[in-house]
Structure 1
Amino acid sequence: MDASSAYQDSLPVSSDALLERLDGWGLSYTRHDHVPLRTVAESKTVEDAFVIDGENGFRLKNLYLRDKKKRNYLVTLQQDREIDLKALGAKLGVGNLSFGSADRLMQHLGIRPGAVSPLAMVTGVDMGVRFFMDRAALGADRVYMHPLVNDRTLGLPVAALDTLFEKLGVTVEWLDLD
């Protein structure tokens, strides 16, 4: 199965159910439906359609990682940031990092490859996944992320991030990478 909304009902939390939660919490967001996007390069082909005049948008690169002790991490960075996993592991204070498998991604974050997003912490928080986010996001007007599927993108005002993470029960560990 792919990571599009056509298969969202096979996820622990569907994209539609997540959007209902966001609406219930009164969180403001913009929603963009598009072709399935699996990579940052593919995302760049459609992201201009999301731009609000004069907006400083933060677009993401999300990494689902594991260390040798089988601890799980979701690391969200600015999409063009180059990353060295060894250096990142040292920065996070953990051992050697590697990418988690598709099966583990579903088990720990409730999503498929291509739809990795901070919103996957809706499942990850209960699975003990540690969440790290690039502090540079705080300087943006809006953060763009997939709502558990890769054919939708939400733009959330940065001011809504704290509320979102609080409602999900997520502790964000902010990364200073500059």
Structure 2
Amino acid sequence: MPKTEADLMAFLAELGIAVSTIRHPPLYTVADSQALRGEIAGGHTKNLFLKDKKDNFFLVTVGEDAVVDLKQIHQLIGAASRVSFGKPEMLMELLGVTPGAVTVFGIVNDRENRVKLVLDKDLMDHSVINAHPLTNEATTSIAAADLIRFVEATGHDAAILKVSA
């Protein structure tokens, strides 16, 4: 069973990480979420769940306005081949979320460490990062340094790379 939003919040609290969460109607796209910009400060995320031909999976988290060259990104993230979007079934199996709710926080559900997380350097220049807390009906704000602590506490490396144009 994937972790829930409540499980995520409990895990963050155990780590001593303070976050703030704002509830809102379901948001499925960056365009949907841009309506909240006046209310939530910080860097807002766009997430790409990708796979290569050898079934290596990647979660690439960039700023909402970032431009990512999907024909070239495999060279930057260490993929074995060009990448494509991962199937919704694998998204649920590995990160415990559905399309439209993909989030850096989903890494908490990747207990077997099958997903390589890549955080875009430009996004991480923000002091606060905003992401869905395993549901697209809320946005959680977390300090960038605390996001790194969270990722490492899940057993993943927080690879910070320049992947956006």
Q: What TM-score bracket applies, with the shorter chain setting the length?
A: over 0.9
Check conservation: 1:141, 1:158, Cα contact below 8 A.
yes
Distance 1:40 1:138 in 2: 18
Q: State the secondary structure of the residue aligned to 1:68.
A: coil
Q: State the secondary structure of the residue aligned to 1:77.
A: strand
Distance 2:43 2:86 in 1: 24
TM value normalised by structure 2: 0.92
TM value normalised by structure 1: 0.86
Unaligned runs of 5+ in 2: none
Check conservation: 1:15, 1:148, Cα contact below 8 A.
yes
Is structure 2 residue 55 aligned with structure 1 residue 65? no
Residue identity in the other structure for 1:60: T
Distance 2:115 2:124 in 1: 22
Unaligned runs of 5+ in 1: 1-10, 52-56
Distance 1:93 1:158 in 2: 23
Q: State the secondary structure of the residue aligned to 1:136.
A: helix
Number of equivalenced pairs: 163
Residue identity in the other structure for 1:93: G
What residue is the counterpart of 1:84 in the other structure? 69
Q: Which has the higher helix share?
A: 1
Residue identity in the other structure for 1:109: L
What residue is the counterpart of 1:116 in the other structure? 102
Root-mean-square deviation over aligned CA pairs = 1.4
Please list every run of at least 4 consecutive aligned residues from structure 1 whose deviation after the TM superposition is greater than 4 angstroms: none
Distance 1:58 1:149 in 2: 18
Is structure 2 residue 4 aligned with structure 1 residue 19? no
Check conservation: 2:61, 2:104, Cα contact below 8 A.
yes
